[in-house]
Amino acid sequence: MLIIPAIDIKDGRCVRLRQGRMDDETVFSDDPVSVAQRWVDQGAQRLHIVDLDGARAGKPANLSIIEQITQNHPKIPIQVGGGIRSEETIQTYLNVGVRYTVIGTRAVREPHFVEELCLEFPGHIIVGLDAKDGKVATDGWSKLSHHDAIDLAQHFVQEGVASIIFTDISRDGMMQGVNVDSTVELAQALPIPIIASGGVSTLEDIKALQAVADEGISGAIIGRALYEGSIDLQQALALTSD
Rounded to whole angstroms, what are the CA distances from 202 to 7, 69, 94, 136, 217?
A: 18, 27, 33, 25, 18
CA distance 204 to 111: 36
What is the C-alpha separation between 97 and 113, in angstroms, rounded?
A: 23
For the question of residue 214 being annotated catalytic, the response is no
User: Which residue spans within 20-162 are E strands per DSSP?
Assistant: 21-29, 47-51, 78-81, 100-103, 125-132, 135-138, 143-148
Could you give the CA distance from residue 202 to residue 178 in angstroms, rounded to a whole number? 9
Our answer to whether residue 130 is catalytic in this structure is yes
Of 242, 233, 230, 218, the residue nearest 43 (C-alpha): 233
Catalytic residue among 51, 53, 130, 172: 130
Nearest to 182 by CA among 97, 170, 174: 170
As annotated, the active-site residues are: 8, 130
